[in-house]
Amino acid sequence: MSRPTDHEARELVIQITNDLFSMGLLTATGGNISSIANEEGTLWITPSQMYKGDLHADDLVRIRHDGTVLEGSRKPSIEYQMHARAYEVRPDSTGAVHTHAPVATAFGICNQTFPPINTDAVFLRDTVTVPWIMPGSRELADAVGEALVKSRGAILQNHGLMTVGPTLRKAATRAMLLEETAKIALYVKQFGGEVSLLPDEWVEKLAGFADFV
């Protein structure tokens, strides 16, 4: 695994934060983004309780997995334990994304699963829903870590999403796909009528391409 330079990591965290905020997947202060840092065992993460629509590289914080601040003057996100645990269970990952995506969050609150309505739904069918646990807690970090062993994306019930990826861009893409696919599932229910699903043989064939996202 190629580690990003600290400059690359910080710039990408800001770029991804801007992208997700503009799409409505982050709220004013809700959600957090991280990237592994150049020094092993450390990561760059967005700060706590700062407006997500105007973050700059200088606002980011470099921490150890135990939360010790190594660089930056801000307080790290309260979800730093969840990010650290994600990298521990997915050592091939260089980026992690926690969003408060509204439709996917509602999808999880209603205990929905993805039917094979399109290719993305098939790719996302291994998504695990984690029951509600207090945000910022070690218990939540451990539960999310367990879910991420099974899938690179998890729905946090009554809370949001957590995704990881071999690159931060791929982690963000999975978060975007979870939200978009949840929207389509919602629209299908609103339209009503007969639902057309992908044929079983194609569901199995497409499952082999799950790493595409």
Query: What is the strand order of the sheet 42-45 is part of?
Result: 69-71, 61-64, 42-45, 32-36, 95-99, 160-165, 153-156, 128-130
Query: How much is the pTM?
Result: 0.94
144, containing H or E segment? helix 138-150
Q: Please say if 79 is a catalytic residue.
A: yes
Catalytic residue among 79, 139, 179, 204: 79
One pLDDT digit (tens) per residue for the chain, 213 residues: 789 999 999 999 999 999 999 999 999 999 999 999 999 999 999 999 999 999 999 999 999 999 999 999 999 999 999 999 999 999 999 999 999 999 999 999 999 999 999 999 999 999 999 999 999 999 999 999 999 999 999 999 999 999 999 999 999 999 999 999 999 999 999 999 888 999 998 888 887 766 656
Q: Where are the domains of the chain?
A: 6-212
**Does domain 6-212 bear CATH number 3.40.225.10?**
yes
- Locate 107 and state its tokens: 């999808």
Distance CA 137, CA 135 (A): 6
